[in-house]
């Protein structure tokens, strides 16, 4: 610190850099260099070293967050403070997530502001230097304590000198339980004798190699370990042993489980009624189960190592060979049936499920076969064929009624002609409709499209019918269109509405407003009827309006940022001037300048809050949860907040409604006087829901019940209630003060019918 803390200050406002340098260097503790852009900062950082960096956020060419990211690529530890007039929550989060040490917002009294900045810089630098000295000392101990192995050090008399955290966690001990123990207290009796002999060999200086042992946990459980141990010997005397062991309990258990599984598998195979075998590609058998031996009346010795048992009939032999050759890595399993010749000469049918087992090069090592006798099934099939022939004969007798059926067919033909005439009338109405009409099947393919639907997209009906309807939708919307249509198909009779982009044949895009309904037609098929309307021009108008609002907000934000910077510079120079001219005759002028500056700042904050109103689409808001969150953010002091609003209740409102509840709580605490309690509740009145916020403070006098909602009224700025009324008014919600003076304030938020619901589950 004797040479001063070297600080690099980055800001695109030269006046603020000058004021900051004067304030920070006035006591000689800081040495400040200033630059007016992030690229200049990166250039000077390549040449000089600094103890800390203070940077503005919003700057041309490169903002403060990007500068932070570039600095952190080469220096992870230098303190970096974001010092800006932009106080948005997302900026704070982004700064801290990218490695900023502190975030300090410009504004207010310059002396207080730069005093806080100097404290933040000093604290950051001291913390960095302290951490650097501790890091190396902590690393060695940390490595031992957090190793994945069990590490121990034991004295020649067997007492423990050190055990790490893994050792304690594995064996279930606490640190204070270790001093009385000796090494053999934690050795299981299964390996106690072996470990005693090994310990004597180790303290004698012998290298014993890998040690297998069984430790015992505090509650008597076995822990299998493998590891190594050595002894430090000074002038021929053992000082202490060092041991590192790995917990191999899971591996031991897995080995035991594998043996048990193999035994269980062997029992399952042997108990099967199906005959199971394994054989090589040349037909040599390597395994058969008991069922196989019983079926073919042979012993294992008569089968293992032999070929082609059983003997397959001449007619089926080629088919079996083709079947085995068809098995591949992609399709290694298949089933086939064939006839075999038994020992007594009888022919039996068997069905086999065969699996080919391949080596790494794709060659067949073995075949595994599971078979069963299906002779009875085959005989049943032959009987079924005989019965089928009898049925065919009976069917021929039915043809005698053919003439009667033909007469019925003629009547149906007449009805069909009448139906065709009706269908032609419908088709004319369908095709001549100026609105785009589509009919889709359950696979969302186009069954039919009218003239307007095809021509407005630049196609003929023939080019679209039979094609997927996705053909005329913009590719980026295909997934969403498919999901919407599937939902429609799952809810026949229910109407659905959406907007998507469609692509004309010439590649141009149009926005289409679509209404769809799934129905079951006379043939019993599920189809979708879609009515479309081109809304491209309306969308363009809406997009243009959104862009205009966005540009106005950006312009407002930039202007506010610049005014804030100039205001901070003005306040800084006024403070410096006040110190240099401590004349009482000018005191009144300094006070007036300060009050005017404060009023300007309040006006800027009002525009910042006001421009957010109506930016986002109204949505259902959980008012009980919002009051809980607002209560946690507000500074309540000794005031009690009671939230009697029903849980899981929602109001359709602008997302900024959370600010309304915060403003009411903050307003009550600031202006309630002798207030002790704030209570939120709900009432029902003429179908509307009345959200009530009431307190037991001084209340509002009758003449001021409407004036409190005017901007600028009250002890502070009066902006809170003004903005609250504007936020609620977006969705037709009103707010009034109805309390009695002296008995506390009572605000009633009137939510119209239809904008209040229980949250869906």
> Rounded to whole angstroms, how far apart are CA atoms 213 and 224?
6
Residue 265 pairs with which residues in a beta bridge?
A: none
157, pLDDT greater than 70:
yes
Instruction: Count the Cβ atoms, other than its own, within 10 Å of residue 126.
Output: 14
CA 508, 512, 518, 520 dihedral sign is negative
The percentage of residues in the chain with a pLDDT greater than 70, rounded to a whole number, is: 83
568, pLDDT greater than 50:
yes
* Four-way CATH pick for 432-534: 3.40.640.10, 3.30.450.20, 3.20.20.140, 1.10.287.180: 3.30.450.20
> Cα 497 to chain center, whole Å?
29
> Cα 295 to chain center, whole Å?
59
CATH number of 272-373: 3.30.450.20
Residue from 468, 516, 518 nearest 489 by CA: 518
> Rounded to whole angstroms, how far apart are CA atoms 287 and 321?
20
Domain ranges of the chain: 5-143, 150-253, 272-373, 432-534, 540-610, 619-758
Q: What is the pLDDT of residues 670-697, one digit of tens each?
A: 888 889 999 999 999 998 999 999 999 9
> Rounded to whole angstroms, how far apart are CA atoms 6 and 102?
17
Q: What is the pLDDT of residues 533-549, one digit of tens each?
A: 888 887 777 666 666 55
Lowest-confidence pick of 170-174, 264-268, 488-492, 575-579: 264-268
Which pLDDT score is estimated for 599?
56
Same fold for the pair 150-253 and 272-373 = yes
Q: What CATH architecture applies to the domain 619-758?
A: 2-Layer Sandwich (3.30)
Which pLDDT score is estimated for 717?
46
Which pLDDT score is estimated for 11?
93
Residues with Cβ within 8 Å of 92's Cβ and at least 6 positions away in sequence, in order, are 103
* Four-way CATH pick for 150-253: 3.40.50.300, 3.40.1670.10, 3.30.450.20, 3.30.390.50: 3.30.450.20
Average pLDDT over residues 705-724: 71
Average pLDDT over residues 394-415: 61
610 φ/ψ angles, rounded to the nearest 5 degrees: -65, -35
Residue from 671, 652, 651, 650 nearest 721 by CA: 671
> Rounded to whole angstroms, how far apart are CA atoms 545 and 551?
10
Contact 296, 342 (CB under 8 A): yes
Question: Which helix (H) or strand (E) covers residue 532, if one does?
Answer: strand 526-534
Q: Within 13 Å of residue 364, how many CA atoms lie on the same side as its CB?
A: 21
Superfamily of structural domain 5-143: Response regulator (3.40.50.2300)
655 φ/ψ angles, rounded to the nearest 5 degrees: -55, -20
> Rounded to whole angstroms, how far apart are CA atoms 394 and 469?
49
Q: What is the pLDDT of residues 642-665, one digit of tens each?
A: 999 998 889 998 888 888 898 899
Sole residue written with tokens 């909602």: 709
pTM: predicted TM-score of the whole model, two decimal places: 0.35
Q: What is the pLDDT of residues 208-254, one digit of tens each?
A: 888 999 999 999 999 999 989 999 998 889 999 999 999 998 888 88
């Amino acid at each position: 610190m004797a040479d001063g803390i070297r600080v690099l200050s980055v800001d695109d406002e030269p006046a603020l850099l000058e004021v900051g340098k004067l304030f920070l260097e006035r006591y000689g503790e800081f040495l400040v260099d200033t630059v007016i852009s992030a690229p200049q900062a990166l250039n000077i950082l390549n040449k000089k070293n600094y103890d800390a960096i203070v940077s503005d956020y919003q700057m041309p060419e490169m903002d403060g967050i990007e500068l932070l990211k570039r600095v952190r690529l080469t220096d992870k530890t230098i303190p970096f403070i974001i010092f800006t007039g932009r106080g948005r929550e997302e900026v704070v989060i982004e700064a801290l997530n990218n490695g900023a040490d502190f975030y300090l917002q410009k504004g207010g009294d310059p002396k207080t502001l730069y005093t806080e900045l100097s404290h933040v810089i000093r604290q950051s630098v001291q913390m960095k230097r302290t951490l650097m000295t501790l890091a190396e000392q902590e690393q060695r101990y940390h490595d031992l304590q957090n190793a994945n192995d069990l590490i121990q050090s034991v004295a020649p008399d067997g007492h423990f000198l050190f055990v790490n955290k893994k050792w304690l966690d594995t064996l279930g001990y606490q640190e204070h339980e270790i001093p009385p123990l000796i090494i053999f207290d934690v050795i299981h009796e299964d390996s106690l004798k072996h470990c005693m002999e090994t310990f004597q060999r180790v303290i004698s200086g012998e290298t014993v190699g890998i040690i297998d042992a069984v430790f015992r946990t505090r509650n008597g459980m076995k822990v299998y370990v493998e590891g190594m141990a050595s002894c430090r010997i000074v002038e021929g005397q053992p000082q202490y042993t060092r041991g590192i062991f790995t917990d191999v309990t899971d591996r031991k258990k897995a080995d035991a489980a594998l043996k048990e599984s193999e035994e269980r598998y062997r029992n399952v195979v042997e108990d099967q009624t199906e005959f199971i075998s394994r054989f090589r590609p040349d037909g040599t058998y390597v395994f058969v189960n008991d069922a196989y031996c019983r079926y073919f009346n042979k012993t294992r010795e008569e089968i293992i190592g032999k070929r082609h048992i059983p003997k397959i009939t001449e007619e089926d032999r080629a088919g079996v060979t083709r079947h085995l050759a068809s098995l591949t890595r992609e399709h290694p399993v298949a089933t086939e049936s064939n006839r075999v010749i038994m020992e007594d000469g009888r022919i039996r049918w068997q069905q086999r499920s065969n699996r080919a087992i391949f080596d790494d090069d794709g060659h067949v090592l073995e075949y595994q076969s599971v078979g069963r006798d299906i002779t009875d099934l085959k005989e049943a099939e032959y009987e079924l064929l005989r019965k089928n022939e009898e049925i065919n004969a009976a069917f021929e007798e039915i043809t005698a009624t053919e003439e009667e059926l033909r007469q019925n067919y003629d009547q149906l033909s007449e009805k069909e002609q009448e139906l065709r005439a009706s269908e032609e009338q419908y088709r004319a109405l369908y095709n001549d409709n100026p609105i785009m009409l589509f009919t889709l099947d359950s696979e969302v393919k186009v069954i039919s499209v009218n003239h307007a639907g095809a021509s407005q997209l630049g196609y003929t009906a023939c080019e679209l019918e039979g094609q997927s309807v996705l053909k005329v939708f913009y590719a980026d919307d295909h997934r969403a269109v498919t999901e919407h249509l599937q939902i429609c198909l799952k809810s026949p009779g229910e109407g659905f509405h959406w907007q998507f982009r469609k692509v004309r044949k010439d590649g141009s895009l149009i926005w289409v407003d679509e209404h769809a309904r799934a129905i079951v037609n006379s043939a019993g098929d599920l189809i979708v009827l879609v009515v479309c309307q081109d809304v491209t021009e309306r969308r363009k108008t809406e997009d243009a309006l959104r862009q205009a609002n966005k540009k106005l907000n950006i312009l407002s934000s930039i202007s506010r940022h610049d005014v804030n910077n100039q205001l901070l510079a003005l306040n800084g120079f006024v403070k410096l001037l006040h110190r240099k001219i401590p004349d009482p005759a000018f005191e009144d002028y300094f006070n007036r300048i300060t009050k005017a500056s404060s009023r300007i700042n309040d006006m800027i904050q009002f525009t910042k809050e006001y421009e957010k109103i109506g930016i986002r689409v109204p949505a259902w808001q959980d008012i009980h949860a919002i009051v809980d969150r607002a209560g946690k953010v507000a500074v309540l002091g000794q005031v009690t907040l009671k939230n009697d609003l029903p849980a899981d209740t929602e109001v359709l409102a602008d997302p900024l409604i959370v600010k309304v509840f915060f403003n009411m709580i903050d307003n009550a605490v600031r202006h309630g006087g002798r207030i002790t309690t704030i209570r939120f509740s709900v009432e029902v009145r003429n179908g509307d829901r009345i959200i009530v916020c009431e307190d037991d403070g001084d209340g509002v006098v009758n003449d001021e019940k409407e004036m409190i909602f005017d901007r600028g009224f009250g002890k502070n700025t009066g902006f809170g209630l003004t903005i609250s009324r504007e936020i609620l008014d977006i969705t037709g919600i009103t707010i009034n003060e109805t309390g009695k003076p002296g008995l506390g304030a009572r605000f009633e938020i009137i939510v119209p019918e239809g904008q209040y619901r229980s949250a869906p589950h």
